Amino acid sequence: MNLANKLTLLRVIIVPFFVLFMFLGVIPLNYLWALVLFAAASITDLFDGKVARKYNMVTNFGKFLDPLADKILVAAALVCFTELHWTPAWITILILIREFSVSGVRLVAAGSDKKVVIAANIWGKLKTAATMAAIVVILFLRILSDNLGLIPEAPVQIIGVVLMVIAALLTLISGVKYLYDYREFIDPSK
């Protein structure tokens, strides 16, 4: 396994530890530790692609695992946020529907006679970046509010929902674009 794929796999390995810190309120500054882990995992998303392209390490496994690792990381954060009542369930559901739909299209395309591996497009990358940035900002605000008591809950909740609505809109646009671009693989007449 090359370095780029190891970085991607590291992102998946970080997820259970992130979730653990999200719910271990007995640990001082638990959201800070969750933020550090989420940010580290998000940074691997920047570097794995750059390393893969710069050193010619692009593989079909990496094309498959990279978006899957993003989905696992973001889904874990969204489920935690929903459980903690930081994000409305409809946003999490919308984002997860898009993720499952695109993953399904990727699986069908890879298993087709054409053996197409669908890499992330610009909309998918923008959606991922916006969602990860929203999660980082929300966690940072929760550290200031919940862990340190420096700012009140209400504005943190409002800002968090606004950021997640923006991420959900980008997710919806991205999902529609993927489904349209690869509609031949989900055509019910074929």
- The string of pLDDT tens digits covering residues 2-17 is 999 999 999 999 999 9
* Residue 124 placed within a domain: yes
Count of the separate structural domains present in the chain: 1
* Residue 190 placed within a domain: no
- C-alpha distances out from residue 174 to 12, 101, 177, Å: 22, 11, 5
* Residue 10 placed within a domain: yes
pLDDT at 21 over 80: yes
Mean pLDDT of 129-150: 96
* Residue 44 placed within a domain: yes
Which CATH number goes with the domain that contains 24? Answer: 1.20.120.1760
Tokens of 172: 């919806």
The pTM for the full model equals 0.89
* Residue 30 placed within a domain: yes
Structural domain boundaries enclosing 103: 3-183
* Residue 188 placed within a domain: no
Strand, helix or coil for residue 176? helix
Cα-Cα-Cα-Cα dihedral sign, residues 151, 15, 50, 105: negative
pLDDT digits (tens, 9 = 90+) for 51-85: 888 899 888 888 778 888 988 999 999 999 999 99
* Residue 112 placed within a domain: yes
Strand, helix or coil for residue 162? helix
pLDDT at 185 over 80: yes
* Residue 65 placed within a domain: yes
What is the Cα gyration radius of the chain?
17
**Residue 146 DSSP code:** I
